[in-house]
Amino acid sequence: MAASNVLSSVSSISISPLPHLRLPSKPQISSVRISASADIRPPITSAEETRKHVEVLKAAAKTRQVPSSEILSAFAEIKKKAPSEIDLSTLGGTESPGRTWMLVFTSQGESSDKGKYFPITAIQRFDAQGRRIENGVYFGGLGNLSFEGRLSWKKKILAFVFEKIRIKVGPFGPFEIKLGQTDPDREPSNIDSFFIWFYVDDEIAVARGKSGGTAFWCRCARVV
């Protein structure tokens, strides 16, 4: 075939546009970028969730105005995320006489509608080094009543046995009374009274007692 004929054939070929191929508009590109940005946000961690519920308890300790339902809800969530072990020194310090905690709120069992702020001053002292516990109620100038004994600790369970009572009435006392015949060499166990701790930091502690009720305490100054 002559070169002139080939050129003539090529020039006669027509190329039509492809209407179905379209580039996305600028608004579409922008929306895709926004969606991708939203998808890379990190999920809320278990620790962050726990901190959120602990803040509810801290507010309750400071104001005593947080509704009971919110406190009980915080209890439930904190229990779900409780660690398998807790360091006793966070609760009882590293040196005697340990750390003192004020009881703020107690619940009865797992019911969401049974809980209240504790109406009187109740202080518990935990001594990690001396393995001692003291539980007292204080009535200002009228006096106080406290129980003292020994404790044991396993992972996050604190078992205890009270050995003596101290009573102070007005300016008189304290008077000390021993409680029965206890073997000082026997380590307290789950056959005795105990607490299972779900959360402890330098300000707030949450635990369930042997009876099934849950309570929380806030750190406080030592009561003499």
Per-residue pLDDT tens for 86-123? 999 999 999 999 999 999 999 987 655 689 999 999 99
Which pLDDT tens digit goes with each residue over 27-62? 454 444 444 444 455 656 778 889 999 999 999 999
Residue pair 149/163 in contact (Cβ under 8 Å)? The answer is yes
What confidence score (pLDDT) does residue 120 get?
A: 96
CB atoms within 10 A of CB 185: 5
Take residue 86 and report the two structure tokens written for it.
């807790």
Give CA separation, 150 vs 7, 30, 55, 138, in Å: 107, 67, 32, 21
The residue with tokens 């807790």 is 86
Q: By percentage, how much of the chain surpasses pLDDT 90? A: 69
Q: Which of 36, 16, 213, 9 is nearest to 116 (CA)?
A: 213
Q: By percentage, how much of the chain surpasses pLDDT 70? A: 77
Take residue 115 and report the two structure tokens written for it.
């809980």
Fold for the domain defined by 46-220:
Lipocalin (2.40.128)
Question: CA 60, CA 68: separation in Å to the nearest integer?
Answer: 9
pTM of structure: 0.77
Planar angle of CA 15, 17, 21, nearest 5 degrees: 140
What confidence score (pLDDT) does residue 221 get?
A: 87
User: What mean pLDDT do residues 143-163 have?
Assistant: 97
